[in-house]
Amino acid sequence: MFVLSKLFWLLAQPLSLAFVLGVSALLAGLFRLARVQGLAGGLGCLVLFVTLYTTAGPVALQVLEARFPKPSQDPANPACAIVLGGAFDTDVTTTRGGIELNQAADRFVEALRLARAFPGMKILVSGGDGSLSGQREGDAVVSRRFFESFGIGADRLIEEAASRNTFENIRNSKSLLEQAGLRDCLLITSAFHMPRAMGLMRKAGLAVTAWPTDYRTSGTQALRLDFTQPTLNAQQTSTALREWLGLLGYYFGGRISALFPAP
């Protein structure tokens, strides 16, 4: 299932889909299938236009980010925080070492801020190698270097380094939390990812407080044409589509109980 989901996403992401439709139109032309050529070419152009030159993707991402509002103040005295991986460029760190953060870096920056504010708080980092190759070090491994470089001792860290996706994040974390006797933790992940993560937590019977971070939109996006930032539009469309497809897949696969989990 893990490999199939990876292969599916390689083809389903907007730019890949537009490419496949373009190739289909070219092949249809070679075989003189005019209707198929026109349909495939038209759909490919439509996918590209919506992806690059509209705010459809940012708006879809914004809806996800708004689902679980950010708490207005810090918790009283959290016992633990669960940080979902995906914030380190593990392809680079595996070969070069060190600490290389990506766009989701806020997950670990926020965890660090809370760790310094609450010295008794444990941090469970969930994230193994989610690549198809299986040759990279996971976020849990890199996170030890990250936290220790800021004075957070290894005795405060719980590393879950076997998971490859969000479903495995939660499943594996549950057993570690039970072993450590920890409950009522904060769940730190990107705001757009929070609905799916919270749905899995509830399905697993884990009570956690949503602690969203890593916002990608302003919260004021409206659906419109946008010719000013096609690269960003494409990136946000891809992120939103992947998350919405993840929600659909997890819901119909029985992994979450609600299609769009709410607070």
Q: Categorize the per-residue pLDDT at 5 as very low, low, confident or very high, splitting at 50, 70 and 90.
A: confident
**Same domain for 77 and 58:** no
**pLDDT of 2:** 74
**Same domain for 194 and 117:** yes
**pLDDT of 208:** 97
Instruction: Report yes or no: 257 and 205 within 8 Å, Cβ to Cβ.
Output: no
**pLDDT of 6:** 82
Alpha-carbon torsion 72, 238, 9, 88, what sign?
negative
What span, in angstroms and rounded, lies between the C-alpha atoms of 241 and 47?
12
Instruction: Report yes or no: 193 and 246 within 8 Å, Cβ to Cβ.
Output: no
Q: What is the pLDDT of residues 91-111, one digit of tens each?
A: 999 999 999 999 999 999 999
Q: What is the pLDDT of residues 7-27, one digit of tens each?
A: 888 899 999 999 999 999 999
- The average confidence (pLDDT) of the chain is 95
**Same domain for 160 and 79:** yes
CATH number at residue 79: 3.40.50.620
**Same domain for 203 and 109:** yes
SS3 content of the chain, % helix, strand, coil (to 5): 55, 10, 35
The range of the structural domain enclosing residue 19 comes to 2-65+229-252
Q: Categorize the per-residue pLDDT at 177 as very low, low, confident or very high, splitting at 50, 70 and 90.
A: very high
